[in-house]
Structure 1
Amino acid sequence: MMGRQATKRELFVSISLEEYVPEDHLLRAVDRYLDLSEFRLCLADSYSHTGRPSIDPELMARMLIIGYSYGIRSERRLCEEVSMNLAYRWFCRLGLKDKVPDHSSFSKNRHGRFRDHDAFRQLFDSVLRRCMAEGLVQGEGFATDASMIKADAQRQRSRPGDAGIDWGDPAQASRPVREYLTALEQANPVPPTPKRISLTDPAATWTAAAGPAIFAYCTNYLIDLKAGMIVDVEASAVNKTAEVEATKTMIDRVEEKFAIKPRRLVGDTNYGVAAMLGWLVNEKSIAPHVPVWDKSEHHDGTFSRADFIFDAENNRYVCPAGKHLKPAQRSQQKNPFRYRASQYDCQLCELKPKCCPNMVIRKIDRSPQEPARDVARAIGKTDAYRQSRRERKKVEMLFAHLKRILKLGQLRLRGPSGAHDEFLLAATAQNLRRMAKSCFYKYQI
């Protein structure tokens, strides 16, 4: 016999949210490791001791963590989801009859007290300290990389960089424009003129690095190689120089805050420039497990710089024919690290067609950071370097997770401060998810 569901509308129902959240739910594991007491203490000075009670900042932080953990990009939709989802209500410490904050509360607090106190950086640091307490951060090896994230700026609302844009009264301009103009005033030296500038987010970089040109920012990750935990994150412009400077900032900040300095740093060729290698080897004493950025290799059958032996004791190069290349005298002030062969030696040399067929003499430029580059080249021949290259995939996996699972393929907030907030919250959510999945079952009975 076909059954029929009997609809009973009970006027009074007594339930506990604890019973409706599964024991293996991700938010149960995240809740175990999330402590927002420091977050509340960080914001205490920005609240008055009298007046009507405000929305609990801990509640807003928990809702934001839900949004970034589950890829809920809209704060309007986040409020709706928390209102309807029992697990979300349980995680936010809300009862069935408790009211969910309005979406406008997030914008008001983000542009105000959250940003003034750098509260999201404090939240990220507190989660990282818990990761360290759980033994997920070893500090022996770090990996770094950058990934491009599309900005909330369209091509139609842009102008050529040399168009002479009149931004009007800075006091009446939007927040991203004010941030851009302030950064220009403080920049030394003045940055080069970009090809195009967005009128809605002028600090965003116009780039065609990943296909059709877009406005974008870069999120820079510094991760610990033991469990792939993110130890620092930094927003930057989309160019190699900015990415290298962001990595330096992150390494210094981690050392200052947590007294952790890795023995090795793993990165791709973007971090193999001479200045970066010199900074790692000479100033930080960190082994660079990084491919050297080297343009001296010849592919036309002529001798490359590697075919010449450097005699450090006599400060000269020895060519394959046994002749010497000495520091140039006339151009010493312009280029003190250029070495030149004797014209007499080159003209009579049988190897000239393979050495410098289109030049009168052979010249070699030597970087002042060449000893550090030699250190990186020597490391590149070891088994430890090959292991580091395999471990570097962990940071690539985090970027894939960021864009595919957390759905951070495009920013919602504008300006460097908006990118800063979004990248910090996303990295915090990633650390919480990874820590929860790594440690939760260890504590289950």
Structure 2
Amino acid sequence: MIFIRMVLLGFLYNIDSDRQLCEEIGYNLAYRWFCKLSLKDDVPDHSSITRIRDRLGEKVYEKIFNEIVEQCRKAGLIKLDQVMVDGSVIKANASIYKMQERDDKKKDDENDPKSPHAHSKDGLSVNDFRKRGIGGKKISNKTHISPSDPDATLSGKDGEQKALAYKTHHAIDACSRVIVDCHVTTGSVSDVTMFIERMNHIQEKFDCKIGEVIADRGYGSAENLEELQRQNIESNIPLWSSKVGETFFKEVEGGFKVDHETKVVHCPEGHQMKSSSHDEAGHRDLYVLSRKICMSCPRAKECLTEYEFKNRGKRFAVPIHFRIFSEVMEKQKEPEFKKKLWQRMWKMEGIFAEAKSHHGLRRARYRGRTKMQIQVYMISTVQNLKRLATLVMDSAISFLQEMIFGLIKTQKIEKLA
């Protein structure tokens, strides 16, 4: 199909304009050959590319991506013994300065110069955020929306400037670096919330079990780690924060003993603490000792905080996930654990760097989540084709080397004879 070949060329060489793509195919003989066009054939008009893209829809592009993934699997590039996952933000094709309040009712009159819908005589908005500045204005995904791309949402790390964006959630085979899954969401969706869903999707798609998952601390929630254990999948994922359970483990080192099965806690002096309440927000169970017992204890001043010493007895918090916290903290000390995280960094981050530098993943070409998913499918397809082509080329080179060495060896034997 000519259209698919043209689109592949566009993403392979990062030609982001349909008009430019058609022009280059018109005079580039290599492009014509790839698209199966003779010198006399007319190149399809750029407007037809847009119409065909919309008509095919997301499902067709997903089938194209899955077909190439299946070819990679048949070639032995996909084993799923180790899977690396990560997410990357893609800038939306929309401006933060044009965001409007989420209100279906237009309360403003277009003739009112203070109205965001008002226009000056030259056609420019006289109430533009860029002109007025957005300093001090509270703009969030709950209160504002982009009229040009409603699916794009504000995204950005703490301390960084926010921007309208999408996010792609990638998973690759660690050995071959072939992309096995690429799912697009709005930019505000957290990696941790998509993790288990995508892992289950991959296992259902390939009808096999993932051996090990390697990811950064953004995926290291207790729920995710426990779910991987439940499915007997090895995890090489650090805890989401180095301070997780910090107070609890210090208390345990100080002599507090916790029986996980009976849910009984003893202080260093052997007193059994009473279960007080469950903190749902903090995911922990609270235990207390009476003030009378604590005040008669010789360790009172060093065990109690200043507030506890003045007002009440000891309060001890037990994270409901402390077992998985303990196991992962011990695993994080192992050299092999750190080695795999380092490999994930250059392998996984390298996939995104390649896609953004050479294939147009840095910014959305289109608007809407569906079209953004199409863009990611085609970029991932191009990257997988490159891995598949490398395998074919390596096999051909190995065959030629063996043949040449065989000929050299035969000539040496004939000379000796």
Q: What range is the shorter-chain TM-score in?
A: 0.7 to 0.9
* Residue equivalent to 2:337: 385
TM-score scaled by length of structure 2: 0.77
Shift of 1:304: 5.5
**Cα distance change, pair 407–304 in 1 and its aligned pair in 2 (3 A):** farther
* Aligned positions of 1:145-156 closer than 5 A: 145-156=86-97
Shift of 1:334: 8.9
* Residue equivalent to 2:3: 60
Taking the aligned partners of 1:213 and 1:334, their CA distance within structure 2 comes to 27
Between stretches 140-149 and 249-258, larger displacement belongs to: 249-258
Shift of 1:313: 3.6
Q: Match of 1:262, SS? A: coil
For 2:194, the aligned partner's letter is A
For 2:16, the aligned partner's letter is R
Taking the aligned partners of 2:6 and 2:179, their CA distance within structure 1 comes to 21
Q: Match of 1:144, SS? A: strand
Aligned pair 1:87/2:30, yes or no?
yes
Shift of 1:167: 8.9
Aligned pair 1:125/2:71, yes or no?
no
For 2:375, the aligned partner's letter is E
Shift of 1:267: 1.0
TM-score scaled by length of structure 1: 0.72
* Residue equivalent to 1:293: 240
For 1:145, the aligned partner's letter is D
Match of 2:374 among 415, 421, 425: 421
Taking the aligned partners of 2:193 and 2:392, their CA distance within structure 1 comes to 34
Aligned pair 1:157/2:157, yes or no?
no
* Residue equivalent to 2:412: none
**Cα distance change, pair 84–232 in 1 and its aligned pair in 2 (3 A):** same
Taking the aligned partners of 1:247 and 1:383, their CA distance within structure 2 comes to 25
Between stretches 375-384 and 409-418, larger displacement belongs to: 375-384
Taking the aligned partners of 1:367 and 1:247, their CA distance within structure 2 comes to 22
**Cα distance change, pair 150–352 in 1 and its aligned pair in 2 (3 A):** farther
Shift of 1:293: 2.4
Taking the aligned partners of 2:68 and 2:320, their CA distance within structure 1 comes to 41
* Residue equivalent to 2:287: 340
Taking the aligned partners of 1:147 and 1:336, their CA distance within structure 2 comes to 29
Aligned pair 1:142/2:89, yes or no?
no
Percent of pairs with identical residues = 27
Higher alpha-carbon Rg: 2
CA deviation digits over 1:266-302, x for unaligned, max 9? 11111111221222222x2212211112444559xx9
Taking the aligned partners of 1:305 and 1:101, their CA distance within structure 2 comes to 71
* Residue equivalent to 1:4: none
Asked whether the equivalents of residues 151 and 414 of structure 1 are also in contact (C-alpha less than 8 Å), the reply is yes
Query: Alignment length, in residue pairs?
Result: 356
Shift of 1:149: 0.6
**Cα distance change, pair 377–73 in 1 and its aligned pair in 2 (3 A):** same
Shift of 1:310: 2.7
Taking the aligned partners of 1:408 and 1:325, their CA distance within structure 2 comes to 56
Aligned pair 1:277/2:220, yes or no?
no
* Aligned positions of 1:87-236 closer than 5 A: 87-115=30-58, 118-160=59-101, 163-166=102-105, 194-209=142-157, 211-236=160-185
**Cα distance change, pair 293–200 in 1 and its aligned pair in 2 (3 A):** same
**Cα distance change, pair 231–92 in 1 and its aligned pair in 2 (3 A):** same
Shift of 1:317: 3.6
Asked whether the equivalents of residues 89 and 166 of structure 2 are also in contact (C-alpha less than 8 Å), the reply is yes
Q: Match of 1:443, SS? A: helix
CA deviation digits over 1:186-245, x for unaligned, max 9? xxxxxx952531111122111232832210011111111111111101112334x64223
Q: Match of 1:399, SS? A: helix
For 1:198, the aligned partner's letter is S
For 1:389, the aligned partner's letter is L
Taking the aligned partners of 2:176 and 2:376, their CA distance within structure 1 comes to 20
* Residue equivalent to 2:258: 310
Q: Match of 1:73, SS? A: coil
* Residue equivalent to 1:400: 353
Unaligned runs of 5+ in 2: 108-139, 401-417
Shift of 1:368: 3.8
Shift of 1:378: 3.6
Taking the aligned partners of 1:246 and 1:333, their CA distance within structure 2 comes to 22
Asked whether the equivalents of residues 143 and 395 of structure 1 are also in contact (C-alpha less than 8 Å), the reply is yes
Asked whether the equivalents of residues 203 and 416 of structure 1 are also in contact (C-alpha less than 8 Å), the reply is yes
